[in-house]
Each structure stands twice: as structure tokens, then as C-alpha cells.
Amino acid sequence: MKKAGPIYPFPAIVGQERMKLALILNVINPGLSGVLIRGEKGTAKSTAVRALADILPEIYVVKDDPFQLSPDEELDWFTEIRASLGRVSGQERVSGEEIEREKRKVRVVELPVGATEDRVVGSLNLEEALKSGEKKVEPGLLAAAHRGILYVDEVNLLDDHVVDVLLDSAAMGVNAIEREGISFSHPARFTLVGTMNPEEGELRPQLLDRFGLCVNIEGISRPEDRVEVMERRAAFDHDPEAFSRRWAREAEGLAEQIEKARRLYPEAEIERESLFQIARYCLEVGVDGHRGDIIILKTAKTLAAFDGRARVSARDIETAAELALPHRVRRQPLMEMADNLETLRRKKQNAS
């Protein structure tokens, strides 16, 4: 994402609580694998995603590594990639201490709708090939997005074969390149954040399923809030830095809360009976596969952690289901997407 210009502070976004919550949850727990934001134009979708930069946590990466590998957890990959790039022999293992590491914020990488496949997966490095006569990999966007956030604006307009690529690497957490004379793979696990305007067409169900959460947003209807939106925007445009300073405390507060939640998450506990409730939810509405169950569990735990609790409440599960289920109910192409769980249940009741 371009660094051009100051960024609108995340807490200063008026309303759209659901969207903000879904984004925050994904920042706390990348395992939620992303959020799809559906809504009309001009509802602060893109602003919110860009504003995430404010509240993103920091991670350790191998210094200057184009593949964003973790020095603690991905040493086997590191060794393998180094070997296949011909820098060291495969036998030579590197230990954690030898590697230079750096701490930096989680990255948001933008995937433009018109991106070509080779830019996304990576390609042959022209310069190296001509200069040294060696095949080197030019890492693509998937490499840049590893352990970060991959943001696709208008994700429903994405070209089909790029969607295939996303599905491929999302399924395996690995980007396998077998093209243009190179054979190479690297880990590519990312949080997929997409925005779309449903009027422009729906997503393929398979891609839909890859988004952990989904929120529908609408324009704000209360006049006071609309005025607030305009005023804040005007203030920001007038003097972005002063505006950001004014919101700095809240942004910091939120970032701290997120950091705490990240630490608390592994300890969050859930009662066995609640797990059955989750399973029943999913069976009731009839979702494909098990991703729904798993995502609800993770979301509920993340909600509890965000709230500073180590115990998942019934409310957490309810909210988690509302975030994780609606887009999964659309099981096949051409099935209408249930707007929210309510209509869904009503349908169910009417049917029986």
C-alpha cells in the first residue's frame, strides 16, 4: 500500500461498528482468515482498511526477507528457500540466533483488480537472468502479503484466474510457482480483506468461503451522524496531522487493547456445551463443510479476548455466528445470499 499522504485515524470513523469490529478481530487473530465487506459505494470501506495501519501489531521478521518469514517459526522454510535460491546448500541448517531479525508492523498489501497473474504469484527476475545467467525468483504480491493483510478492493471484479491463484494459496498456505522455467514455493498465509458492491455481481461461493467473516454495511441514516462524518472529514482534509494528533490517544488505546487481546487469546476458554451450540448452529442453517464451525469458535474466543475476558460467553457465540455464517449459507451459485441470520431462521421456521 502506498505511503502517500496521511491516513485517516481508525477510531475516527463514524459508526460502521460491525465492520470495525470484524477488522479488529482479524487483526487480533489472523486465523480468522479475513473479512468480506459488502456495501454500497462511499461507506468508508476502503478508508477503514487503510486506517488499519494505525492499529496493526508488530511482528518479527527475518531482516530484508522478501518472503516475510518468521525467524522463530519458519526456519525450515528459510533454509529451504535459501537452498533453492542457491545461496547455501540444503544441508546447512540455520539456527535462530544467526539470523538478523527486525520488528515491524504487520503489512497491508493491496492487490489491484487489474493485477496480472505473474505479479501476484511471482515471476522470473529479468535482471538476474541477464546479468548473471541465473534463474532467480522475483517475488510477487503473495510473498509480500505473507503474515500480513491482502486487501482487494472490488474483489468481485477480480479476474477469474487470479481468483484461482488466491484460492490455491489460501487452501494450502503455500504459493507454489511452476511457471516460466522456475519451480519454487514459499509460504503464503494472509488475511484476505475484500470489499465489494453486491450490485456488481456476487463472488464465487468458493472464494466467499475463504473469507472468515462477512459484514454488510449501509450508509449512515441518522442525520446527526452524517453531519459528524462530514465534519470529521472536513477537519481531516483541512489539517490531517492535527486531526490525527487529536485521535492519537484513542488509536493508541485501541492498539494496546488489541495487543492485550492477542496475548490473552490462547488462554480463552470455552465450555463444552457452547461447542455443541456452535455445531448445532451450523447444522441448522446448513453450511458447507466445517469452516463455519471453526471460524465461529475462533471468532467467539477472539471476541472474549478483545473484551479482556478469558471465558467465552453465549453472547460472544451469538455475535460470532452473525459474523461468520451469513455468507456461508449461500451454498451454491445462484442461491440468494441470506442478508442476516434472522431472515435465515425465519425461513427455517416457516419451512418447518
Partner 1 sequence: MRRDLFPFAAVVGQEDLKTSLMLCAVNPAVGGVLIRGEKGTAKSTLVRALADILPELETAADCAFSCDPARPQEWCERCRERAAANRRVKKRRPILTLPLNATEDRVTGSLDFEEAVRSGRRVVSPGLLAAAHRGILYVDEVNLLDDHLVDIILDAAASGENRLEREGLSFRHPARFMLIGTMNPEEGELRPQFLDRFGLSVAVNAEPDEKLRVELMLRREEFDLDPAAFQRRYADETAALRLKLSEAGERLPLVEFPKRLRKFVAELAMGSHAAGHRADLFMEQAALAMAALEGALEATEAQVMAVAPLVLAHRRREAAPPPPPPPPPEEDKEKENEKQAPEEPEKAAENPEEAAPPPEKSRDEERENASPPETGDNQDEGGPEQSGAPEDNHVQIGETFRVKSIQAAKDRLRRRGSGRRSRSRVSQKQGRYVKSGPDRGGGDLALDATLRAAAPYQLSRPRTAGLAVTLTPADIREKEREKRLGNFLFFTVDASGSMGARGRMAASKGAIMSLLLDAYQKRDRVALISFRRGEASLNLPLTASIDLAGKLLAELPVGGRTPLSAGLSRTWLELRNALTKNPLARPIVVLITDGRSNVALGEGKPLDEALRLASVMGRDERIKYIVVDTEEPGAVTFGLASQLAAALSAAYFKINDLKADALVNIVKGNLEK
Among residues 13, 53, 99, 182, which is the contact residue for partner 1, using CB under 8 A? 182
φ, ψ of residue 114 to 5 degrees: the values are -90, 10
Selected catalytic residue, list 204, 233, 291, 331:
291
Nearest approach in angstroms of CB 279 to partner 1 is: 4
* 310: contact with partner 1 by CB under 8 A: no
> Which string of x and - marks every residue 10-49 that binds partner 1 (by CB under 8 A)?
---------------------x------------------
- Is residue 291 part of the annotated active site? The answer reads yes
What is the nearest approach in angstroms of partner 1 to the Cβ of residue 67?
14
Residue closer to partner 1 by CB (options 73, 237) is 73
What is the strand order of the sheet 34-39 is part of?
108-110, 149-152, 191-196, 34-39, 213-217
Backbone φ and ψ for 26, nearest 5 degrees, come out as -70, -30
User: Within positions 131 to 150, which residues make up the interface with partner 1, using CB under 8 A?
Assistant: 131-135
Does position 200 bind partner 1 by CB under 8 A? yes
Q: CB 239 → partner 1: shortest distance, Å?
A: 42
Residue 250 or 259 with smaller CB distance to partner 1: 259
Cell, residue 106: 504487520
Binding piece for partner 1, criterion CB under 8 A, among 14-22, 236-244, 246-254, 333-341:
333-341
| DSSP letters spanning 46-73 | HHHHHHGGGGPPEEEEETT-TT---TTT
Least spacing, CB of residue 133 vs partner 1, in Å: 3
Q: Is 29 helix (H, G, I), strand (E, B) or coil?
A: coil
Q: Decide if residue 315 touches partner 1 (CB under 8 A).
A: no
Q: Supply angle C-alpha 324, 329, 331, rounded to 5.
A: 130
What are the start-end ranges of the H helices in the chain? Answer: 17-28, 45-51, 75-84, 117-121, 126-132, 141-145, 160-172, 205-210, 223-238, 240-264, 272-285, 291-306, 314-324, 341-351
Position among 142, 149, 165, 188 found at the interface with partner 1 (CB under 8 A): 165
Within 71-110, the residues that bind partner 1 by CB under 8 A are: 73-74, 76
d(CA 229, CA 206): 36
